[in-house]
Amino acid sequence: MKTSVIQLTLDLLNGADMTVALEFNPFLRDYQQNPHGYYRTMRNEAPAYYIEPLNVWALFRYDDVVDTLRRPDLYSSRDWIRNTLGEYDPVPQVTNLIAMDPPDHTRIRKLANKAFLPGVIRKMEGDIRALIEELLDEVQDRGREFDFVHDYAAHVPVNVTAKILGADERTARNEFKRWTMDLLRAPSRSVLPQEDLDQIKRSMTELREYFTELIEFRRRNPGNDLVSVLVQAEEDSQALTADEILSLAFILQFGGSETPSHLISSSLLNLFDHPDAMAAVKADPAKTADAVIDETFRYSSPVHFVSRTATQDIEIHGQTIPKDSIVMAYISSANRDETVIEDPDTFDITRKGNSRHLALGLGTHYCLGALLGKMMCGTALTRALERMPSLQPIHETPEWMPSYWVRGLNTFPVRY
Ligand code: HEM
């Protein structure tokens, strides 16, 4: 009697007591299309749950997710790269920032922060705006119907990240797009054919060679880009090594190239679904952009979960998570937790404290690109609406990507 991801089995046949078996399988399409009903049930019925097909433990409540992110001593990040990329880590010589725990993480993060200080990001704002205008010119040259995801939103972060890392020329930006697309396929490596795996490997090698040369070039010719800032970053007379810079450049590209695209598309969808909010944004884009972006982070979190490894047996909600298990902290579920967020299933850009969401993580590994991401997404959304005020969706029902990890629209046909 398998009818849905969460299945209530009533064992009435043999007259036994009613037993309720709960099953949560994030590979199922129904969950990927509409996860929030499932999350609500999991928060209420099984807040700590073993997902058999993935061999991981999942936590769904806001407070538990916060604890996971705030306790690196209990929930380590050490297996992040191994779980995500396996043998396709382009810089295996050093541990990546995202896979470090304190105190190692603290040193690298302090240095990397220098490339993301508000003043540094502000200096890049003009370039980012110009790039977004260029992308919108291309969209508008194509005609009055286009796919908002593939023709626009997906290009924004790849191009912005390439640009701010110092890969200015158009050809380099196109290479970046190819490398990024290949890199993002690595988490599915167990089901990919050999030729795709070879392609990922080739892209990793090219990416590595490209950044190695770029870092050397920027040592001699510093510019206004992040690689230059990283090359010069020093803390207590400690600078980053070449491999550390390479590893950081890679995680910036990986972290910064996809999720903002989902956020841009989801915020447009949310505005189409909420005409009052759309009217407010059109009336005053500068004043409302931050609120739309923050509420979309909460309501349509682009990342479902972040993963950690249990450093010891953990007792939680009557379950024991064994030492060395992978734990998925469902930030997307936490952001709709009714015990913490009032009326969580309503999209409300006037919501007080809407930046309390966990879509960008929390604590030690809080998203390094948060400020940049918000600025990029806010500008991409509001400029698209300013330049195409009659923008509207072509279909009623959106189709979400077939992914258990990220949440973004698969396609989004629009006209103006
Ligand atoms: C706008 C959409 C974005 C979302 C939803 C997002 C989400 C996240 C999340 C949830 C984490 C925490 C990971 C963890 O705890 O394991 C994270 C970390 C990170 N993000 Fe983002 N991110 C976004 C944009 C960006 C951008 C634009 C960049 C850079 C250009 C970036 C770079 C990073 C890096 C380097 C980390 C690791 C920080 C550390 O380990 O200390 N992200 N991001």
**What structural domains does the chain harbor?**
29-415 (1.10.630.10)
Instruction: Please report which helix (H) or strand (E) contains residue 48, including its range.
Output: strand 48-51
Q: Please give the pLDDT value at position 274.
A: 97
The CA–CA distances, whole Å, from 307 to 57, 81, 241, 362 equal 10, 10, 27, 13
Instruction: Give the model's confidence band at 163: pLDDT under 50 very low, under 70 low, under 90 confident, else very high.
Output: confident
Lowest-pLDDT range of 116-130, 174-188, 281-295, 314-328: 174-188
126 or 5, which is more confident? 126
Report the C-alpha dihedral over residues 384, 300, 56, 369, rounded to 10 degrees: 50
Distance (Å, whole) CA 233 – CA 221: 15
User: Who lines ligand 1 at CB under 6 A?
Assistant: 77, 97-98, 109, 161, 251-252, 255-256, 259-260, 263, 302-303, 306, 359-361, 365, 367-369, 372-373, 377
Q: Please give the pLDDT value at position 21.
A: 64
Instruction: Give the model's confidence band at 43: pLDDT under 50 very low, under 70 low, under 90 confident, else very high.
Output: very high
401 or 177, which is more confident? 401
Count of Cβ atoms closer than 10 Å to residue 324 Cβ: 12
Residues 388-398: what's their mean pLDDT? 91
Most confident of 159-168, 346-355, 373-382: 373-382
CA 98 to ligand 1 centroid distance, Å: 9
Q: Give the mutation target among 367, 374, 381 for probing the ligand 1 site: most ligand atoms within 8 A of CB.
A: 367
Residues 354-364: what's their mean pLDDT? 91
Distance (Å, whole) CA 296 – CA 302: 9
The sign of the torsion formed by the CA atoms of 20, 25, 29, 30 equals positive
Ligand 1 atom having least distance to the Cα of 363: 15
- For residue 411, the Cα-to-chain-centroid distance in whole angstroms is 18
The answer, yes or no, to whether residue 14 has pLDDT greater than 70, is no
Instruction: Give the model's confidence band at 226: pLDDT under 50 very low, under 70 low, under 90 confident, else very high.
Output: confident
Q: Please give the pLDDT value at position 13.
A: 40
The answer, yes or no, to whether residue 185 has pLDDT greater than 90, is no
Average pLDDT, rounded, for the chain: 90
Q: Please give the pLDDT value at position 376.
A: 96
Is 308:76 a contact under the CB 8 Å cutoff?
A: yes
The answer, yes or no, to whether residue 67 has pLDDT greater than 80, is yes
Distance (Å, whole) CA 133 – CA 75: 42
Is 86:189 a contact under the CB 8 Å cutoff?
A: yes
Q: Please give the pLDDT value at position 166.
A: 81
CA 263 to ligand 1 centroid distance, Å: 13
The answer, yes or no, to whether residue 12 has pLDDT greater than 70, is no
Is 339:62 a contact under the CB 8 Å cutoff?
A: yes
Q: Determine what percent of the chain is predicted with pLDDT higher than 70.
A: 94
The sign of the torsion formed by the CA atoms of 137, 142, 143, 147 equals negative
Distance (Å, whole) CA 297 – CA 357: 7
The answer, yes or no, to whether residue 16 has pLDDT greater than 60, is no
CA 60 to ligand 1 centroid distance, Å: 20
CA 21 to ligand 1 centroid distance, Å: 36
Q: Please give the pLDDT value at position 314.
A: 98
Helix (H), strand (E), coil (C) string for 112-181: HHHHHCHHHHHHHHHHHHHHHHHHHHHHHHHCCEEEHHHHHHCHHHHHHHHHHCCCCCHHHHHHHHHHHH
Q: Quick check: bond before 103 cis, omega within 30?
A: yes
Ligand 1 atom having least distance to the Cα of 100: 40
Q: Please give the pLDDT value at position 168.
A: 67
Q: Please give the pLDDT value at position 371.
A: 95
Ligand 1 atom having least distance to the Cα of 69: 15
Q: Determine what percent of the chain is predicted with pLDDT higher than 90.
A: 64
The CA–CA distances, whole Å, from 173 to 10, 34, 226 equal 56, 34, 15
The CA–CA distances, whole Å, from 349 to 332, 375, 386 equal 18, 17, 19
